[in-house]
Amino acid sequence: MSQVTTHVLNTASGRPAAGIYVTLEGNGVAAEGVTDADGRISDLGPDSLAPGVYRLVFETGGFFPEITIAFTVSDHSHYHVPLLLSPFAYSTYRGS
């Protein structure tokens, strides 16, 4: 499993958001993936990242055609970055 994973949920429908294209960028890393039927990407990027600032860019379409979440990797912990979507809002948090 990669050090960074994500999970996208559509809060308007209460269902996972499948088919969302996601890129991981930063500190010389460029990786990409598409959310599966459960709205997850578990193999996004390498197993280990150097400390630094990274970005997950979600191509969501609609009112927010692109959502960027920047975060800091400070150690070799697992970083799970969920995205909650609705038609006119989104939120994120540090997952486990």
Residues 41-91: pLDDT tens digits?
999 989 999 999 999 999 999 899 999 999 999 998 999 999 999 999 999
Q: How many CB atoms lie within 10 A of CB 55?
A: 13
Give residue limits of the domains in the chain: 4-92
The CATH H-level superfamily of 4-92 is Transthyretin/hydroxyisourate hydrolase domain (2.60.40.180)
6-16 per-position pLDDT tens digit = 999 999 999 99
pTM of the entire structure? 0.93
pLDDT at 96: 83
Alpha carbon distance 9, 22 (integer Å): 14
How, if at all, do strands 4-10 and 40-44 pair?
antiparallel
